[in-house]
Amino acid sequence: MITRTPESKCLYCGAPFSAATSLAGDYVPEPGNLTVCIKCGSVHMIADDMTVRALTQDETAELLAQPELIAAIARTVRAVRMVRAAKN
């Protein structure tokens, strides 16, 4: 399922963010969720207005303290890269 969100841009590569989905099935994004740029694989936080924002230093430290979450993000980034490679 794809959920449309207000358009914003990746803070690293400038790619548009206007939707969210999950590799693991149904997903409805909420503020505070992490999201990965489909173009460059950078990690962002979904803001209160449903656009994307950078993680704070505290959020980054919290993320780095969760190896299982880092592994899940790494799997997502690999999947994004595989999909992009298949399209080229």
Could you report the per-residue pLDDT of 13-32, keeping only the tens digit for each? 999 988 887 766 677 889 99
Write down the pLDDT at residue 81. Answer: 84
- Which pLDDT score, from 0 to 100, does residue 23 have? 66
Give the helix, strand, coil percentages of the chain, each rounded to 5.
Answer: 35, 25, 45
Cβ-defined contacts of 68-71 (< 8 Å, 24+) = 69/34
pTM for this entry:
0.81
Q: Which residues of the chain have pLDDT under 70?
A: 23-25
Say what the pLDDT of residue 12 is.
Answer: 94
